Amino acid sequence: MTKKSIIIDPKAHSELTKLAESLKMNYGSLVQEMIYYFKKTGIDPKDAVNKNPALMVSALDKRIVSFLKVQERDILKPLRQDVFEYQKIQKDDNANLITAINKILNQHSVRTAEIKKNHLENFNLINSNDNSRTKLMNSELEKNRQAIIVLCQLIDDKNKSGALDKIKSIFS
């Protein structure tokens, strides 16, 4: 590496010495890193003399806050409003669905009660008809018994064969 010299005033040389000692670097390395730093960041060292870093940070902070407020206004608040509206729609839809389900359940309950009542009425009607048929059958059987007894009496007038007693014993 070849040595090159630069001319600076004594005050700047004193500042360079202090800076090199505080960063524990030699003059060449420090100047080299300064050059790379200014090149990478695009900072103009002439402008930095007049600007206070605290004011620059404050201005940057204001820009960031302004940016966040714009984002909040343009994106977050409308998004939040959309979420609230969607939530309200969902609540309304759920309430309507619950109402419809309850209505269907009530209709089903009423219809089930009607069907149960109809089945009970039909069952009672069947039982009633069955009782009537049973009475009619018993009545017919009693008539047949009486007819058989009368026939036996006519056939065997004096009950010599004992047929009448046998028939009576069968029916009793």
d(CA 123, CA 77): 68
How far does CA 76 lie from the centroid of its chain? Answer: 25
| Choice between 28 and 43, residue whose per-residue pLDDT is larger | 28
Residue 164 in contact with residue 148, Cβ under 8 Å? no
> What is the reported pLDDT for 50?
58
Q: Which long-range contacts (CB under 8 A, 24 or more apart) does 135-141 make?
A: none
| Percentage of the chain lying above the pLDDT 90 cut | 54
Nearest Cα to Cα of residue 167 among 140, 137, 153, 138: 153
For residue 125, the one-letter residue type is L
Mean pLDDT, the chain, whole residue set: 88
132 secondary structure, DSSP code: H
Q: Two tokens at 111?
A: 């219809």
Taking only the tens place, the pLDDT of each residue in 94-151 is: 999 999 999 999 999 999 999 999 999 999 999 999 999 999 999 999 898 888 888 8
With a cut of 90, say whether residue 154 has pLDDT above it: no
d(CA 98, CA 78): 30
> What is the reported pLDDT for 55?
77
Confidence class for position 48, pLDDT limits 50, 70, 90: low
Confidence class for position 57, pLDDT limits 50, 70, 90: confident
d(CA 20, CA 6): 16
d(CA 157, CA 83): 108
Query: What is the pTM for the complete model shown?
Result: 0.42
Taking only the tens place, the pLDDT of each residue in 103-119 is: 999 999 999 999 999 99
With a cut of 90, say whether residue 80 has pLDDT above it: yes
- Angle, CA 144 vertex, CA 143 and CA 150 arms, to 5°: 90
69-73, 93-97, 101-105, 165-169: which range is least confident on average?
165-169
